[in-house]
Amino acid sequence: QPVPVHGRGPLVQCGCQHRAQATFVEGAGEDCPARVRILQRRLQELAELAKTISEENARGEHFDPPLDHNEIAFYDALANDPSALQEMTDDALAEIARELVKVLRNDARIDWTKREDVQAKLRAQVRRLLRWYKYPPDKQPAAIKLVIEQMEQLAPEMTTA
């Protein structure tokens, strides 16, 4: 007979004393060893995903001060070009990323993606920052485009009215 566990629904019990939650395991009608293998594979996938997420969250830790996830997004946009990575240090790219987050927090508004004047101001600020930190001039147009795309992705959580 089905046994409820912590409000998650009934468990399926098979003849060989193993139990697996029917809503989680595919093929609930298969024989028990097959269900156990499926469950083990799913748990392994979840463990690998948790490890990947943990590694991704720790990426900014080696910078001083550490980069948060927003700053890492801008760092990745700036470091997208291998020649820019060769010409600039990681610390310089990290500092530009910190400045870009400040620009977004201070100057972007809720409707900035619809207002050309605000977009132009942000592009000009990004351009000035890249020049200030001596980002390779031939790589600036592509970097500006990627940075603006990152701003569009991050803006909903960071903008104010």
Which of 82-91, 114-123, 150-159 bottoms out in mean pLDDT, i.e. has the lowest? Answer: 150-159
Least confident of 23-27, 49-53, 66-70, 152-156: 23-27
- The DSSP code sequence of 112-159 is TTT-HHHHHHHHHHHHHHHHHTT--GGGHHHHHHHHHHHHHHHHHHH-
Q: Residue 96 pLDDT > 70, yes or no?
A: yes
Predicted confidence band at 30 (pLDDT cuts at 50, 70, 90)?
Answer: low
Of 151, 102, 152, 100, which is closest to residue 126 (Cα–Cα)? 100
User: CA dist 91 to 25, 65, 75, 98, Å?
Assistant: 46, 10, 10, 10
Predicted confidence at residue 99, as pLDDT, reads 92
Which pTM does this prediction carry?
0.61
